[in-house]
Amino acid sequence: MRTPNEIDFWRGFALITIFVNHIPGIYFERFTFRSISLSDSAELFVFLAGWSMRISIEGKNGLLPPGRVVLRLAGRAVQIYTAQMVITEVAIAMLASSSLIFDAPFLLDWHNASAVFREPVEANIGLVLLTHQLGYFNILPLYVVLMAGAPFVAMTYRFARPLLLPASLALYGVVLTFGINLPTWPVEGMWFLNPMAWQLIYVLGLCSRTQRGWGLSPAGICAGLSSQLCPLFCLAPGLL
239 within domain boundaries: no
Number of domains the chain contains: 1
- Beta-bridge partners for 58: 63
User: What is d(CA 221, CA 219) in angstroms, rounded to the nearest whole number?
Assistant: 5
Please say whether the beta carbons of 123 and 115 come within 8 A.
yes
Closest among 118, 96, 119, 120 to 107, alpha carbons compared? 96
238 within domain boundaries: no
189 within domain boundaries: yes
The 10s digit of each residue's pLDDT in 87-145 is 999 999 999 999 999 999 999 999 999 999 999 999 999 999 999 999 989 999 999 99
Domain that includes residue 88, residue range: 6-233
The 10s digit of each residue's pLDDT in 196-235 is 999 999 999 998 865 554 443 444 445 445 444 454 444 3
SS3 state of residue 203: helix
- Decide if pLDDT at 5 tops 50: yes
pTM of the model: 0.84
